[in-house]
Every structure is written in structure tokens, then in C-alpha cells.
Structure 1
């Protein structure tokens, strides 16, 4: 077609100079006007055929130039060249624009077809679904999956208000959840939203949807409604809520856990600071709970904890939040503790409630509660400090035997710091040879009061603190898990020192609960006897009744093994703890030691102390067990003990604790006296 157009242009172009030669100027101008019009027509009507238009315009312009030259109109010839060039340039630009427009239209059409195909595929197979509203926020298009999610048909859904479809019964009352109010505001303000979680009520069932949408606009910018996508996230929501519940609640008791208690205490401190009031924090530790776990097993212990939690929850008011910190430790956050007596009243209520008997698996159980409390911001301006203060107060309650409440006092921090330093020094004491043993003689109650043995007593001389009382450092050693290595050193050293005494003299060594129940204790005793050469019958191990409360079954097994090795066993402080004749029937003790408090009380004429000593001696005689009276300090107490029938005596009247050299010298003095 371009070739024909070019030929046509050449014909017109060649005709122009010929006509110009034979015609006058007026005729030539007429002919040129017609050709010029045809050139303009070709440039305007053939933009999609640039080659055709260019050939025609070029050929015609060339003929015109020749014609003007033949008429000696050189300026018009130049003008014709310029005009033809401009027309050709315009044709080419128009052609380029046309090509770009058609290309863009084709791409847009292809994208539109692709989007339509994807939408159809999305609606048919996707987990999400599409929805669309009109200007009145009513559904104008409902995909089959959207209708299925509403448990209705698409034709029923269309035309219904979106909020009415998902609000359920609340549509009539107008009391929407906050999430639906948020959705309604977005729709009303015609704002796009994304990943909005809303509760949906479908046929009385609560579901959770995740909705995203954006407003639709016409070509003139007018609002047409919303087009969006949604999905059912009920399972994900329930899983998230379950995970959140597990993160904030204790699984065993369903009480708030440490995380939630910490957050509540932080909020209480913040409110106390804002309103110029006080808040409180209480830490609760169950007394004798470990004995339940050890004797009846952890399942029973868990059920007991659940009952304790239930009781605590029942007695809490709106001002109190109770939770479980872990193990047998609970806590209570007091949101407002401005009343000076309030904390003490709550503590008494808790102790009285927890101390009542429990029925667990046909077992009647008795436990108690030790409580430590702190008041903020007076006892701590941060959560950590307030909890630390309550913990120090709890430690004070445990030290005093439990089942009591202590509030925080500033001196407790000083005591805690002293304990920390004491523990640090205690860890270096063994390596630095700071320990030594002293021995208190045990004598026969009748006859010449001859020495029959010694009790080994641990002493600590520290460079920083000087001579530290055992009553002070032994509890620290037990808490720091140092009592086992220290006790093993005492055992070995006592066996070594006893080899310096006559072969008939025994040595008594006190054994702690942790030491006795350590896995290698029996092997440690056997190794000490073997290495020192001390006969087993010369070693007497002293235990208190507390071992039967904490680790009764295991303690009985270990003591039985020791006694079969020929080692003597002594029950110390009998009558001051959880006395039970069952201990004496399960384990064959060689000696029962009457505590010094009974001896002192009997010397003052206290009838109950006198009755206890007589009962213990009578029981021991019946079981063929020797008795030792502790704390005899004068002749009157000696006469009284002899009258009661005790077999052995230990006290200041016959000798204070002495170092090994003095104990050995005691026998040298006896030997010299016998020779004289």
C-alpha cells in the first residue's frame, strides 16, 4: 500500500511541474492548493500507515518544489520543503503514539484477563473469599465461599448489610463488640483496612474473621463501595488464646503465674505512685509440703497444691490477686494496702484457711503457711525490690518455724548481706583449714563417772568474723548446699582423732538430713572407717527426728544399712520435734538423748518436763536403749538425773567442749591418777 501511495505521490508530483510549465500562475496555484490539501489529509488520516503517508507527502512535496523552481519562486520552494518535512515528522510521531497506545491497550487487556482468571481460581480453590459492597455498605457481590462461610446462599446474602450479616443477634440490640465498632467506623469513613480481626456470630455460633478491604471508585472519582477479602481464623484465634493463657496462667492450679503476678505488681506500684497510696506483695511458702511429696508421692502433692489454690482463690477479694510462683510458693498482690492493719488481716486469713486439714486420696493432710510481706513503695519502688523484700520477710518466717507472718524490716537486708558474705567465706573455709573440732565428754551417770565417749562439735574460726557460732553458720551451710562436704570432713576428722583415745572410747558425730540422704553417704562412712582404722562400733552417728519428716523412707533404709555395718545410732533432741514411737519401731537406736530443755525445766520443778524425762527413760529401758541426758551443769541436776535412771550424762558439769589435745590429756591425767 505504501508503494501505491508513493506512485500516486510521484504522479501528482510529476504532474505539478508539467502543469506549471503550460499553465499560468493562477492555474498553478489552484493545482498546488489541491495537492497541499491532499498532503494534509494524508498526514491526518493515515497515522497508522506512516509509510503510505510519508511516501505520498514526500513525492507530492518534491513535485511542488520542482514546480516552484520552474516558476522561479525559490522561497516558496524552500517553504514547501519545510512544510513537507514537518508533515512527515508529524506523521511519524502520530504513528509512534498510536503504536504505544495499542501496545498499552493490549497489555492492559491481557492483565485484565489474567486478574479475572486468578480471581475465578481464587474463589474456586482459595481458603479466603471475596466480598463487595455498594455505597450503602450492603453486599453487592458474594463469592460462593463467602456465602458458604455465612452458611447461606449467595442470592440471599447479596443486598444484605455487611454488619448485619456478621453481627448476628447484636444487630437488633445495637450492642456491638469493640472490633465491630472499629469496622463500622472504617466503612463509614471509607477508609481502607487490612487484617482486621472481628467476631462473627453465625447461627448463634461465635467465629472470628480476618477482613481486608479498600474503597472502589469510578472513573470520575465517585465512591462505589468496598471490595475486600476475608478468611475464617477461628482456629488460629483459639490457639493464640490458649497459648496466651498458658503463658500467663499456671497449668496445675489455673492461678496467675509469675509473669502475670509481676505485671499486676508493676501496675499496682504505678497506681500507688499516681494516687499517693500504698500497695502490697505477699509471698507464701507451704510448711511441711515436702514431707507430703516424699511420703505420698508427687501426684498427691500436685492434688494438694490444687486444693490450696482453690482455697486461696475463694478468699481473695477484688483488691487481691493470688497466683503461683512455682513449686509450693504462692503470692498475693494487694492493689491497695494503705490501711496499716490490712496486710496482717489478709495474712491471718490465709494462714487460717491453708492450715485446715485436707482430704486427698483418702489421706488427711495437715500443712501450714509461712508468709512474708512488703509494702510498696516504702519497701521497694520497683517490682524486683519489692519481691526481694517480701522474700526476705518470708525467710524470717521460715526461720521461726513457719505458720506465721512477718513483714519486711530494713534490717533484713543487712542480715541478708551478712549471710551472703558469710556464705562466701564459708565456701573457702574447707580449703583454708579454718574448721576444727572440739569434743565434749560423755560420762557414765553412776559409779565414778568415767568417760565413755565424746561428741564431736564443729567450730569455725574465720579471719574476718572470728569465732562464728555453729547456730549461725550451719543454717547458711545447709542453704548453700555446703553441709555435705563439711559434714564429710567432720566425719573423717573425728574418726582420725578418735584413734588417739583408748580403744573403749566412742566418738559421736552429728549427721544432717542432706548429708544422710546423699547418694554416697554410706560409702563415705565406710571409707572413713577403713582409712582411719577406727572400728565401726566406736562410731556413733547422731540424727534428729527431722530426717523422718523430710525423707522418712530413704532415711530408714540408710540407717538400717549403717547399723548392719556395726555403727551405733543415736536419736538426738528426742521429744522436741515430731516425736513418734514409729521411728523407734522401724529403726533400732542404741541411744536416745534427752534434750537439755527438759533437764533445765525438770531442775526448776516443771511437772511436764519431769514427766517427759521419766517416760522417755521408762520407754528406753523397755526397748533396751540407753539414755543420755544433755545439759547437766551442777550437782543438783546430776542427782536428779541419777534419780530418773539415765545411763549417761553430758554437760558442763563434767566438761566443756575441748580441743583434741585436751581430750587426749584427759586420759593421761586419768592414767596418772590411777598410777598414783
Structure 2
């Protein structure tokens, strides 16, 4: 049975008297069984000698048979329990040794209690002496269970005390009773000691086995080894694992200085790593050390060892060297270094990440505050990168970011650190920005270098650069404040068109706060009923009759007054509030259009965020259904910018809208990418010509005239209508008519108006009966 078996785990911890007297098997009974049988035989012989001639022979022979039968029964019980260890016996098992002891006790009670009246007083005392000897031996030589010894002693010894008491020998009865009590206490105590000793022996055996197992596992391990050095710090008793770690044979390493074996080339140069010097100092000072990380050189390769050592002192107090354990933790160290690198560097570009930039900026601020100098942070954002990433794919976008990081890193001086904050945002920390134009020089150099064309995967790419900067500690005493203020300056740079550098000014906080408040007000605008619709008429170029309206959104904020669409529409797109606002605009425009003549269309501008929402077609269908407006009277206006992202969702949404029977107009054509591929892939109902071309044509600009003619000719050949925007004078209208545009929109025919004013306009500019404006 192993040391960890349930039998040993069931040993009692405090060995109370009840446990000793209970059914706890004593393994010592197996060793004492022959001696108990020998004592029984000797006692039987002495009893026969004492009874022979004084008691009838037949009675003596009957007693001998009874005693022998009890002894055989006890022997068989001992054999049955021979396989049991120190454990609790089951009730059936415990009953057998008790029954055997009871039988033996009754058999040995007969010589004195049964035959005592046939012999004289001297023989009676001799029989009691034999009986006392036998009970004493039974207490010394334990039975299978302790309670069996007590049963035998109480029955046999108690019968003697009872005999003397009945016979009137009060003194002898008292002595017999006292002897019996002493024997009981002695039995309990000796049994407790034996079981406790057995338990301690088992525990020691278990510990020895566990230690042996651990040592065996340690010696057979692949990474750990034992090492030992003498007082001169030379290795001794080199184990195979230690020799393998040293890259030598055990005989080659034996007797060599430990530091020399692991120093490598540093032993010749005398330039030791700090960790190796610390190990040498610990060995020299005879100090205990634990888990000491040491850089070693084995076979020309740098490794990392983790060593623990303890000085050895003999009985006379003399130093005998060191003994310890070691392990090669090179892989763990490299993994730790890699994790530390990943925590502070960007995996795509290899540049420091936000964490390291923040730590560097904080250090630069501390240095600037201490020496009364200046540091700076430049926040850099790539303009038009989003279009590259979405039109050419993330693979090309990642390559472009890598090229940008290479150029940015090449522009850094010793006092500058560049890094990537995430996405297409980078940053530069200037540790020394004391010069009057130090920040401006770096910003200008970065803009010029990063704006140069890139050749990536067969594509020539152009991106602009917006830069915002903040100077510390003037613009902030902490890294967080400097980064926030530089970010505000970056937003300012992008707002003015990009490709410029803006420095932080306190007024930017007011702009940011205004934007935050404007966003909060915009979120409540629909619920407060602050949104309203305006409608600008679109007329037929020939008859000047109203054929449609463009729906325009207006916001009259209770907190901010009348807010320009150029201000709140981009904010709504950035916050995706444009989706619920766009739904409201569609419903309201369709509802108002039901009040107009059946030939008049309503055009609603739609953002790219709405088309990428996934539910846009359902929104259009719900607006038409709830208001009862026929689908052919609704026209959705989009710009080319909606196709700069992944255009598949936008095209799918517009195809669904066309399937409903609605028209789709391409707004501001000629001012964006002017890709003819859009016209091939999408069935636009109308192409709207930007007002800049109309004004140029009226001024006699040949390029504007040519562009308008080309657009009109192309639209006619594709079966599309054309609308000229921005007509404000009679001359512009005349040019538009001459160039062949079918519809005109501009202040000359009406400014944006309310729905009620639009109905008045119908009475003033009604179309002739039966004339179509298509």
C-alpha cells in the first residue's frame, strides 16, 4: 500500500482513548502473535501441573481442549486480519477478535473460578499468579484490536478477583482488582504509544518517498540542475544536467571557476554584465541568494540563468562553499522582453505606441519644468487616408502607413521621438523645443515629407498631413493636458482644410466646448421639435414652371439660435445622428409633397452614413407608405463621396430605392472625382451641374462651357435629365438654356421656402396644361 493510500489517510490525528479502544487494527499484532501463542502454551502447562492430582483428570482434559479451541479460533482470526493495515475495521471484522478474546478469557477463568475450590489456598495463589502473568503478557503483546486485550484481561482477571471475593479473601481480591485496573490503564497507554509510533513511522516513510520522488523528478528534469562550488568558487560534483547547461563534458568543467565558465568573452575583456558581477559579489561575500537572474554566455550565445545558492557550513563552522539550483530561463526572458516590447511599440509600423509616447512626454515635461525649458508634442493626422484604405483595401492602407512611418522616423533628430497613436494618427515628442520656431520647423518638414507621393503595390498615392501642436509646460503641466490641447489644435488644422500646422490657443477650448454643447443640443433637437424643412423650387428650363423642390433641413435651436447646415450636418454625420434625422426628413418631405400637384417631385439629400445603415431602403418604403406619396415623385440626391467608401452597400441601397420606383440624382457632378464608372454602374435619373460651372459659363469661361456641354451631351445619351444649380441672373439662365440643360435651380426662381409658401408659388408659376417637365 502506497503512503498516500486511503488507509494511511484515515489514521487518527490525536489518538483519543475511544479511538484506541475502538475497532482500530493494530499492525503490531501480526508480529506478536507467535509470542502470545507461546505464552498461552507455557501458562497452560503450568496450570496443568498445578491442577494435576488435585482436580479430576477428565475435568483437566476438558479444560485443555477448551483452551486449545479458543487458541485455534484466535489464531484463525489473526490470519484473517493479516492483510489489514492500520485502519478502522468494519463492524463484522471487529467482532471476530473480540469474540476470540472473550472465548480465551472464559477458558482461562475456569482454572481458578471453576477449579479453585478443589485446591488449597497456596495453589489458588499460584493459579492467580499464572493468570496474572498471562494477562500481563497479553497487554505487552497486543492483539488484533486493543479492546480484545481489555476483554480478555477483564474476563480472566475479573474472574480471579470475584473468586477471592466470594471465598472471603478480601485482601487478595483487592490486590487482584488493583492489578486488573493497572493492567487496563497500561494496555490503553501502551496501545496509544504503539499506534502513535506507527503513525509517525508511516508519515516519515511517506515524506521519504515524496522527497525521493521530487529529487528524482528534479534530476530527470530538462531545465533545472544542481550546482556546487568549493570555497575557491570552483565547481565540484558536476551533474550531467549542469554539464549540459555549460556546454561541456562534466570532466572538463570539474574544478573550473564558476564565473569563468559562464562569463564567455567577458572573462577576457573584464567587462562583465551587471548581473554577473552581482553573482560574483554574492559568492565572494558568502551571501545566500534566491532566483538571481544572471546573463551568461555559453558557446558564444547569450543565455539567461536563474540561480539560487546557499553557503555550506560544516559542524565546526567552517565555510565549505556553495550549493544551489539553477535553470535556463532564456525563452521566458525573451518572451518577457517581447511582451514588454509589444506593450510600448506598434506592431504594424515598429514605432512607439501611445503608452511609450505618453511616458516620454511626461519625462520631457519633468525635465522642462526642472530646467525651465520647453518641450512640445505634435499630433499628426493623414488627410484622405480613409479614402485610400476603403477604395484600395486595408492591405494597401497598411503598407502606406508603414511607408509613412519610415519617412517620419527619418526626419527625427536625437531630441525627437515619433510614434503611432492608432489608425492614421501619429505624434512627435520634442524633448527640446526652446527655439522660437523649433516646433514650426519640425511641423513644416513633416508636412512636406509626408505629402510627397507614395508608390504602393502599383499605385501612386497622395495623402495630405494635418498637424496640431502644444508646448509644455506652457500649454499644460501634464502629459494628458498636452495631448488634449495638441488634439484640439489638430482638429483646428483639419477644419481649415488640412495640410497645415496649427498651434494650440486657449480659444480652441471654447470651440471644442461649443461643439460639445452643439452635439448635446442636436441630440435633443428632434424631440424638441426644433427641426424644420425648407423647399427650394426646381423649374423647367423652357417654361419656367415648377417641376420639383429640393428639401433642405433647417435647425432653429432654442440654445444656439439658427444653426447653419454647413455646421450641424457634418456634426450629425460624425455622431451618426444623421440616421434618425434623415428618417424624419424623408417622412416630412414626403408628407409635404402630397400637398403639391401630382407632377411635382421632391428631392431629398442623403448622406453616405444613411446608405451604409442597412435599413435605408426600408426607411424610404415606410416614408412612402405612411404618407401615400407615389414612389416616382421622390428623388434621392447623393454625391460621389458616398462611393468613396466600400461602395457595395451604397449601391445595393440605391438599387433597392430604384426598384421601389424612386429616382436617384447625382449632385455636384464635376467637382469631385467625376468618375464615369458611377454613371455606368448606376441608373441616375438626374445629374446636377454645380453652380461654379454655371457662373463660369456666364462669365465666358471656355472650360466651364465645354464641361457643361459634355455633361449635357452625356446625360442625354444615357437618358438622364440635367439640372443646373445656382442660377441667379437672367444671363445665367439664358446660357443654361442655350447649353441644353432641362431644369434650373437658383435664387432667381425662388429661395428656400416653407411648404405653405410653396403652395402659393404653384399659383404664380403653374405649368401649362398637359406639359411635362421630365
CA displacement at 1:525 relative to structure 2: 0.9
1:156 deviation in Å?
A: 2.6
Alignment check: 8 A CA contact 2:468 2:486 kept: yes
* Aligned match of 2:540: 444
Secondary structure in 2 matching 1:337: coil
Distance 2:295 2:326 in 1: 13
State the Cα deviation string for residues 37-89 of structure 1 (Å, max 9, x = none).
Answer: xxxxxxxxxxxxxxxxxxxxxxxxxxxxxxxxxxxxxxxxxxxxxxxxxxxxx
Q: How does 1:646-657 map to 2 (within 5 A)?
A: 646-657=741-752
Asked if residue 398 in structure 1 is aligned to residue 471 in structure 2, the reply is no
Equivalent of 2:682 in 573, 582, 587: 587
CA RMSD of aligned residues (A): 3.0
Matched, 1:466 2:561: yes
Distance 1:147 1:604 in 2: 94
- 2:324 is aligned to 228
CA distance in 2, matches of 1:515, 1:124: 69
The equivalent residue for 2:620 is 525
Question: Does 1:167 find its partner at 2:263?
Answer: yes
Shift of 1:672: 13
Alignment-derived partner of residue 425 in structure 1? 521
- State the secondary structure of the residue aligned to 1:325: strand
CA distance in 1, matches of 2:706, 2:501: 33
The answer to whether the 8 A contact 2:545-2:766 is kept is no
Post-superposition offset of 1:660: 1.0
The separation in 2 between residues aligned to 1:412 and 1:189, in whole angstroms, is 63
Q: How far 1:169 moved relative to its partner? A: 1.1
Alignment-derived partner of residue 693 in structure 2: 598
**1:572 aligns to what SS in structure 2?**
strand
Shift of 1:113: 9.8
2:601 aligned residue: 506
In structure 2, relative to structure 1, the CA distance for the partners of 1:645 and 1:160 (3 Å cut) is: same
Compared CA separation, residues 671 and 512, structure 1 to 2 (3 A): closer
Residues 646 and 461 (structure 1 numbering): CA distance in 2 closer, same or farther, change over 3 Å? same
Matched, 1:478 2:573: yes
What is the match of residue 663 of structure 1?
758
Q: How many angstroms apart in 2 are the aligned matches of 1:123 and 1:160? A: 24
**Distance between the aligned counterparts of 2:667 and 2:441, measured in 1?**
38
* 1:590, distance to aligned residue in structure 2 (A): 2.2
Q: For 1:644-667, what per-residue CA distance to the aligned partner results, in whole angstroms no more than 9, with x for missing partners?
A: 333222222211111111112222
Q: Distance in 2 between matches of 1:605 and 1:671?
A: 32
What is residue 139 of structure 1 aligned with on the other side? Answer: 235
Checking the alignment, whether the CA contact within 8 Å between 1:137 and 1:225 is kept in structure 2 is yes
Between the aligned partners of 2:436 and 2:579, the Cα distance in structure 1 is 44
Query: Would you say the 8 A contact 2:614–2:653 is kept in 1?
Result: no
Show the counterpart of 1:371: 467
Distance 2:212 2:768 in 1: 119
* 1:496 CA drift (Å): 0.5
Runs (4+) of structure 1 exceeding 6 A deviation are 110-120, 671-674
CA contact (8 A) 1:134 1:224 kept: yes
What corresponds to 1:644 in structure 2?
739
Give the structure 1 partner of residue 247 of structure 2.
151
Choose the corresponding residue for 2:550, options 419, 442, 455: 455
Give the drift of 1:605. 5.0
Confirm or deny: 8 A CA contact 2:589 2:602 kept in the other structure.
yes
Q: Deviations over 1:384-405 (max 9, x none)?
A: 1111122222222333343333
Q: 1:315 aligns with which of 378, 390, 411?
A: 411
Alignment of 1:151-550 (within 5 A): 151-219=247-315, 221-447=317-543, 449-550=544-645
The answer to whether the 8 Å contact 1:320/1:333 transfers is yes
Q: How many angstroms apart in 1 are the aligned matches of 2:464 and 2:767?
A: 58
TM superposition score normalised by structure 2: 0.68
SS in 2 for 1:196: strand
Unaligned runs of 5+ residues in structure 1 are 1-106
CA contact (8 A) 2:545 2:767 kept: no
Quick check: 473-482 or 308-317, which moved more? 308-317
Distance of 2:595 and 2:713 partners within structure 1: 35
Q: Distance in 2 between matches of 1:638 and 1:339?
A: 58
**Distance in 2 separating the partners of 1:298 and 1:485:** 30
Aligned mates of 1:147, 1:190 — CA distance in 2: 24
State yes or no: 1:560 paired with 2:664.
Answer: no
